[in-house]
Amino acid sequence: MKSIRDLPVARLAMASVMALGLAQCDREPREQPVDAEPIVETPVPEPKVSTPTSLDRAAFLGAISRAGSAYATGVAPTGADPLVGRTFAIRLPFGCGRPAPAAPVDSEASSADAGLPSLTWGPDNKTLVLSLTPGDWSDTALIVGSGAADRWEAVEGFWVTRPWLGSESCPKIARDPLMGGGAQAASQTVGLASVHETDSSRLGRRDGQAYRFTLRGEDGRAPVPSPMGYRVVLEGRFSSFPDGQAIRCRAASIDQRPVCIAAVQLDRVAFEDGSSSTVLSEWRPG
């Protein structure tokens, strides 16, 4: 037998090629690399913070503070007022201490008490009377000076007492024994003016008539006042003065806090129990 060295060079080369081909056929085909899909980062949307559509007591007092500051610095507001058309639900705590003595029968609220809610004993201290008589603000300087005298036939006012209190509950501050006797209440500086257009419906007007509700006890006994007092709820929509602004401020001097009132249209007035938030009585003007 001839050895591989005895084969001709051509036959040797062919044998090498065939052997290489057979070796390659025995191998498994190599998979083609698959291009990886690019990683696309999906941006995470920022959470939307919804602006409350209705202003509460704290938000309203914030708007009043800004308006008072602008007035004191002599900055006249320009452009559309974003407050106009916005709804509100403002609670006014009252009756936070002892009820006042019973008022004389058929007595009317004095000009000093008009626009302020009150809690008094009824006859013989057997009932509790919650009352709120709107003030007649039609001829006040803030209304007459605004140029709305011909536009508004009636303006009924409500004071927002304790404007330094953002809470809708009665204050819990303890009396300082070193202060001596009771201090005089601060002057009112923040209010809501319920405006009624000339020749408009009179259904929503009070014309000096009070919102009033009487609480009675059980079995003929006197009712127990709520530990957290009571609240007046005023709901409606902000209107505007002739200059297009919802709030108007005035002050007698630079050393006095401006008196600021907002023009509104009332949709609901209610009395609530300050402890349980139970609605005691409500009115829907118009």
pLDDT tens for residues 246-281?
999 999 999 999 999 999 999 999 999 999 999 999
Question: Could you give the CA distance from residue 183 to residue 106 in angstroms, rounded to a whole number?
Answer: 29
Question: Residue 117: phi, psi to the nearest 5?
Answer: -70, 155
Average pLDDT, the chain: 84
Residue 219: what pLDDT? 84
Q: For residue 105, count other CB atoms closer than 10 A to its CB.
A: 6
222-232: pLDDT as tens digits: 999 999 999 99
* Structure-token pair, residue 145: 């000076």
Question: Could you give the CA distance from residue 54 to residue 43 in angstroms, rounded to a whole number?
Answer: 32
Higher pLDDT, 125 or 174: 125
When pLDDT is averaged across residues 130-146 and rounded to a whole number, the result is 94
In 146-225 the beta strands, taken as DSSP E runs, fall at 152-159, 190-197, 211-216
In this structure, what is the dihedral angle of CA atoms 48, 53, 57, 58, given to the nearest 10 degrees? 20
Give the pLDDT band (50/70/90) at residue 149: confident
- Classify residue 200 as exposed, middle or buried by CB count within 10 Å of its CB (0-12, 13-18, 19+): middle
Residue 36: what pLDDT? 54
CA neighbor of 84 nearest in space, from 193, 250, 244: 244
Q: Which amino acid is at 49?
A: V
Higher pLDDT, 115 or 147: 115
When pLDDT is averaged across residues 200-212 and rounded to a whole number, the result is 87
When pLDDT is averaged across residues 27-54 and rounded to a whole number, the result is 58
Three-class SS state of 112: coil
Query: Is residue 87 scored above 50 in pLDDT?
Result: yes
In the chain, the percentage of residues whose pLDDT exceeds 90 is: 58
Q: Does the predicted model carry a pTM greater than 0.85? A: no
Residue 196: what pLDDT? 93
Bridge pairing between strands 259-273 and 279-283: antiparallel
- 122-to-26, 119, 214, 222, 265 alpha-carbon distances in Å: 111, 10, 8, 10, 32
Give the pLDDT band (50/70/90) at residue 139: very high
Whether 263 contacts 239, CB under 8 Å:
yes
- Classify residue 123 as exposed, middle or buried by CB count within 10 Å of its CB (0-12, 13-18, 19+): exposed
Whether 275 contacts 240, CB under 8 Å:
no
Range with the lowest mean pLDDT among 1-15, 126-140, 156-170? 1-15
Higher pLDDT, 242 or 103: 242
Residue 159: what pLDDT? 97
In 99-200 the beta strands, taken as DSSP E runs, fall at 117-121, 127-132, 135-136, 152-159, 190-197
25-37: pLDDT as tens digits: 445 555 555 555 5
Residue 22: what pLDDT? 45
Residue 13: what pLDDT? 47
Whether 189 contacts 258, CB under 8 Å:
yes
In the chain the beta strands, taken as DSSP E runs, fall at 54-55, 87-94, 117-121, 127-132, 135-136, 152-159, 190-197, 211-216, 230-238, 247-250, 259-273, 279-283
Query: Is residue 93 scored above 70 in pLDDT?
Result: yes
Residue 184: what pLDDT? 77
Query: Is residue 154 scored above 60 in pLDDT?
Result: yes
